[in-house]
Structure 1
Amino acid sequence: MRWTDTQEIAISLDEAHPDADVQHLRFTDLHRWIVELTDFEDDPEASNERILEAIQMAWLSERD
């Protein structure tokens, strides 16, 4: 997975952290959880707030 795979990342995060309070999750924690995903292969430094926000929104949508 790469940073642009927002939906795939959201699904993987939901499976890895089913009890997480996604709406109030700090971006620092979100970033760490993403780079810790087994299938994540992108540069950890290549993210930004816009990307993390898009992933967070996709994760919220996945929960609905």
Structure 2
Amino acid sequence: MSLHWTDVLDIAIELAEARPEVDPRYVNFVELHRWVLELPDFSDDPQRGGEKVLEAIQAAWIEEAQ
């Protein structure tokens, strides 16, 4: 399976599993962007990860963590 920026929920689930110790409410976008790029299944253009998509990923991750 290959993840792209449009796979917001799947990315959030992967992040929640990869970093269970992290409270997603306090992750800055620079760090979040880097962590998404580090996911083993992620394969999309790093430049496409703008603020709106990072906000969506963070919101989905917060939902997943609750």
The two structures have a TM-score, normalised by structure 2, of 0.94
Per-residue Cα deviation, 1:18-62 (whole angstroms, up to 9, x for no partner) = 011210111000000000000000001111100000000000001
Q: Distance in 1 between matches of 2:62 and 2:23?
A: 10
- What is the aligned length? 64
1:23 maps to which residue?
Answer: 25
Q: What residue in structure 2 maps to residue 2 of structure 1?
A: 4
- In structure 2, runs of 5+ residues without a counterpart are none
TM-score by length of 1: 0.97
1:63, distance to aligned residue in structure 2 (A): 1.1
**2:53 aligns to what?**
51
- % identical equivalent positions: 50
Structure 1 stretches of 4+ moved >2 Å: none
Aligned counterpart, 2:37: 35
CA RMSD of aligned residues (A): 0.5
